[in-house]
Amino acid sequence: MSGLFITFEGGEGAGKSTVLSRIKARLEKEGYDVVATREPGGSLIAEKIRQVILDPIHTEMDSRTEALLYAAARRQHLVETVLPHLKKGGLVLCDRFVDSSLVYQGVAREIGIDDVLNINLFATEGKLPDLTLFFDVAPEIGLARITSHHGREFNRLDRESLTFHKQVRDAYHQLHKQEPERIRMIDASHSIEEVTIKAWKEIKHVIEG
Ligand code: TYD
């Protein structure tokens, strides 16, 4: 089997990180060679860039600076972590990728999808996921989940307004409509068990071709 690159996308509190770790465990049980990783971060240099981006004291961060930092972290992570594992024929499960930048920087921060896509094409040399799972939940529900979940870090983006998070959700819907084959939408308003089952089905479908 050749490697497969699967990304997990969605707004805050959609449960994608929890589902990702459950799916990883299940795939490993079945004998697959899996790397679970995340953006921004996933390699030493990219984690350092993450700290700069998400630091709550960086209130003066310009939105284009932010977009460039995400793209820089993405490049380093892709080269150091994602591509080597795919080359070995493994599965890479990645929490967020280019779609996050299109949605958060392109739409919600109003830079424009085309400009953000361009810097990302430079960063990734056009590399796309084989499958993207978009975990869809109303921001009211997602944000309420985050506030009640004390173990999770509260970052600069969580402070954004409800309108910002609604724009994020609408933009994901837009991307899903443009690429319904690659981007599969999963209703994430249900229990984590139900959401994991749906995600598992989509992933097995792609793995088994
Ligand atoms: P994180 O704590 O990983 O949040 P989550 O669990 O919701 O993924 O923080 C990542 C934040 O970075 C999240 O608010 C979305 C944002 N982000 C962007 O704005 N653009 C990007 O390209 C990426 C990868 C993330």
The CATH number linked to 22 is 3.40.50.300
Residue nearest ligand 1's atom 19 by CA: 104
Rounded distance, CA 48 to CA 50, Å? 5
List, for residues 20-71, the tens digit of each pLDDT value.
999 999 999 999 999 999 999 999 999 999 999 999 999 999 999 999 999 9
**Across all residues in the chain, what is the average pLDDT?**
94
Strands of the sheet with 183-187, listed across from one edge: 34-38, 91-95, 4-10, 131-136, 183-187
Query: How long is the chain?
Result: 209
Which of 69, 157, 165, 169 to mutate to test ligand 1, by most ligand atoms within 8 A of the CB atom?
A: 157
Residue 92 has φ and ψ, to the nearest 5°, of -115, 120
Rounded distance, CA 132 to CA 92, Å? 12
Q: Is the dihedral of CA 41, 43, 47, 53 positive or negative?
A: negative
Q: Please state the domain count of the chain.
A: 1
Rounded distance, CA 198 to CA 170, Å? 21
Whether 205 has a pLDDT exceeding 70, the answer reads yes
Residue nearest ligand 1's atom 5 by CA: 12
- Tokens 């958060």 locate to 104
Whether 148 has a pLDDT exceeding 80, the answer reads no
Which ligand 1 atom is nearest residue 40's CA? 24
Measuring CA to CA, which residue among 169, 80, 64 is closest to residue 119? 64
Measuring CA to CA, which residue among 167, 91, 181, 68 is closest to residue 134? 181
Residue span of the structural domain in which 117 resides:
4-208
CB 81 within 8 A of CB 23: no
